[in-house]
Amino acid sequence: MTTSQPPVAKKVPTERTHHGHTFVDPYEWLREKDNPEVVSHLEAENAYTAEVTKDQEQLRQDIFNEIKARTVETDLSVPARKRGWWYYTRTEEGKQYGIQCRTAAQDTGDVQADWTPPAVEPGVPVPGEQILLDGNAQAEGKPFFSLGGMAVTEDGNLFAWAEDNAGDERFTLRIKDLRTGELLPDVIENVFYGLAFSPDGSRVFYIVVDDSWRPHQVKAHVLGTDPADDVVIHQEDDVAMWTGFELSADRRQLVIGIGNSEYSEYRVMDFEDPAPQLRTLIPRSARILYEAEPLTLAGQRQYLLTHNRGALNSMVSLVAEEEFAKPLEEQLWNTVVPHRDDVRVNGAAVTATHVLVSVRKDTTERVQVLPVQGLGTEAQGDPVEPAFDEELYTASLSNAEYESPVIRLSYTSYLTPPRVYDYVLETGDLQLRRETPVRGGYDPADYVAERDWATAADGTRIPLSVLRRAEVARDGGNPALVYAYGSYEISMDPAFNIARLSLLDRGVVYVIAHVRGGGEMGRAWYDDGKKLNKKNTFTDFVAATDHVASSGWADPARIAAMGGSAGGLLMGAVANLAPEKYRAIVAQVPFVDALTTILDPELPLSALEWEEWGNPITDPEVYRYMAEYTPYENVREVAYPRIAAVTSFNDTRVLYVEPAKWVAALREKGTGSEPIVLKTEMDGGHGGASGRYEAWKDRAWDYAFILAALHARDLLPGTAPLVPAENRGTGS
């Protein structure tokens, strides 16, 4: 470590008073993004961080090289069929971004032949390939590049995409004529994620955000007209509601979803109506959280609703269109998937012949399939669930064209690289199309993934996923990293991760703590970790750490913690709760000044957060509760562990100012000697810098910081290095 002194942020006291409580904030001035003094301070922090961690440079390079050595850089996705074309993405060695392509499909009448994706090999030219968009060419000369959506017209002639060149998630929409390769003059600035063409290809629909980055408008652009004349299909003025849209699976309707985490509202518009108007299905005043999927059965328009009406974990019902004209209590809802206490229903999709239901059972996500024939009646068939042979896995629907006889499933686990399956709807056959290759002699038998359980102070059992090398002994001497998220009902599902192998190969026991606030154990699991139950998320993580420390798998003095975004809030909270339990903490884009942010509805996305944390503006109890845990305001005079806060200057979800203030407070009040550093990506957004190589460098930086703190720089004895010895570090 270096003897360099960290930057000292000046103090400019700013008072914030709510509900009779005044908080004096000395570092709020760092919010002034356009202030050269702020930029200079962040640059000084970056210089200090580089100096403090310069001894990790070789380790970072080693990890980056290991990720690169295991990754097949020239690769492609399994082609997915949309009408007359197979669409796929390929990557090339040495290039940062994917290349979007297609090749013509055939229609011979042989279902098996017509729906079997073309056999394409990495590095081998694809006959008839047409490049839709080369991300590398688009990104050339730009500091940042990210796609926010792509769409192709039903006839396959036009291609639209939205790109971000700043990292602030405001995209520019462009349209290309695939017959000529020429760009249309239509260019629309400041659009958000998601876009789609109308069925006739004459219009493109897109989302616009307001000044607080809340998606609030669905607009339609008529090709060939001035974007200033684009029509607002829907504008949502409730600052606590999020707006999105999609086309129905049969392309007959525009479906607009408006909602938050507790209730929603859907509005639909018929494309075939000569004077189309939006119609509301169930109004938000009913306070029902639901999703709507239109379909036609026996000539009657119906809606498949995934909803929580009398169903905590949600259920699926079928409702005829005319029922919505009646009072809610008089409507006839036919059950398709009943409510179960042990199964969380996530959503449903449809094809012309089948309903596809996403459910979570025993913490894992899976797909169930049932025919539309007899749907919602006594003649309804039993759901079929494609079976897999691992305990901890994730199976999800990735593609289902409406007229397709097959659906595309994605499968992965902690030890199995991503697989692509085609599931034949008529026969139930599961056809493996591809498993993502891993170079470097990867053998899943070298690793173990197990389920364990910790016990919280209130007796709640917390599921843990524990990953390690097979030869790691339960001798109480291993380094460990505990990771969690724990908010928004988002689950940390089993997934393969090449970068994580670099930790496991150095003997680290990697533990994912599925704490309350996530969705792993159903809706109640989420409810028990939000609003006035939020502290359960933090105490669950500490309980998980205690379990790891006493399990025999880890050395209690060599445990690190990591989390990002809302998981970064978790990192800040546990740093205050139990700093002595961690050797190091990495907080990625951390939401550590939560109360300040949510008290200001003008800040990006703040009003949308009230359904997650409560509204401290109007509710003094919520204010008091949040003031007790928000990390920045609870920094105290204790010895904090080694901490790295990693952020991006252009992040619109968690502003850079939050970790900047937090780091300043930690240094001011902390009594320990461990370094506390702030690393700011000056050209990045919420996900960091753009491009896959830059993402690998970011991950290598985080992991090297942890490994250095845990004295675990070296590969385990007998683990074959993927990087030549002359290029490796010199040990711990």
Q: In sequence order, what are the residues at sequence separation of 6 or more whose Cβ sits closer than 8 angstroms to the Cβ of residue 228?
A: none
- 3-state secondary structure string, 283-319? CHHHCCCEEEEEEEECCEEEEEEEECCCCCCCEEEEE
Supply the pLDDT for residue 604: 64
Catalytic positions, written as ranges: 565, 651, 686
Report the 10 Å Cβ neighbour count for 330.
8
| CA-to-CA dists, residue 127 to 80, 105, 630, angstroms | 16, 11, 57
Q: Which helix or strand (DSSP H or E) is residue 180 part of?
A: none
pLDDT at 442 over 50: yes
Cα dihedral 395/401/402/406 (nearest 10): -60
Supply the pLDDT for residue 169: 84
Supply the pLDDT for residue 732: 33
**Radius of gyration of the chain measured on its C-alpha atoms:** 26
What is the reported pTM?
0.88
pLDDT category, 502, cuts 50, 70, 90?
Answer: very high
Mind listing the pLDDT tens digit for each residue in 583-620?
999 999 999 999 999 998 777 667 778 889 999 999 99
Q: 659: closest CA among 635, 638, 683?
A: 635
* Domain-wise residue ranges, the chain: 14-69+441-727
pLDDT category, 1, cuts 50, 70, 90?
Answer: very low
Mind listing the pLDDT tens digit for each residue in 353-372?
999 999 999 899 999 999 99
| CA-to-CA dists, residue 556 to 457, 475, 560, angstroms | 19, 12, 10
pLDDT at 2 over 60: no
Superfamily of domain 14-69+441-727: Alpha/Beta hydrolase fold, catalytic domain (3.40.50.1820)
pLDDT at 684 over 80: no
Mind listing the pLDDT tens digit for each residue in 457-478?
999 999 999 999 999 999 999 9
Mind listing the pLDDT tens digit for each residue in 54-96?
999 999 999 999 999 999 876 778 899 999 999 999 888 888 8
DSSP 103-119: EE----S-HHHHTSPP-
Q: What is the mean pLDDT of the chain?
A: 93
pLDDT category, 505, cuts 50, 70, 90?
Answer: very high
Report the 10 Å Cβ neighbour count for 136.
17
Supply the pLDDT for residue 526: 97
- Asked if 245 contacts 255 with a C-beta cutoff of 8 angstroms, the reply is yes
Long-range contacts: 392-395, Cβ < 8 Å, 24+? 392/363, 392/364, 392/449, 392/451, 392/465, 392/494, 393/364, 393/494, 394/364, 394/365, 394/493, 394/494, 394/495, 395/364, 395/365, 395/366, 395/367
Q: Which helix or strand (DSSP H or E) is residue 206 part of?
A: strand 203-209
- Asked if 240 contacts 257 with a C-beta cutoff of 8 angstroms, the reply is no
Mind listing the pLDDT tens digit for each residue in 106-148?
999 888 889 999 887 777 888 899 999 999 999 999 888 889 9
pLDDT at 728 over 60: no
pLDDT at 336 over 60: yes
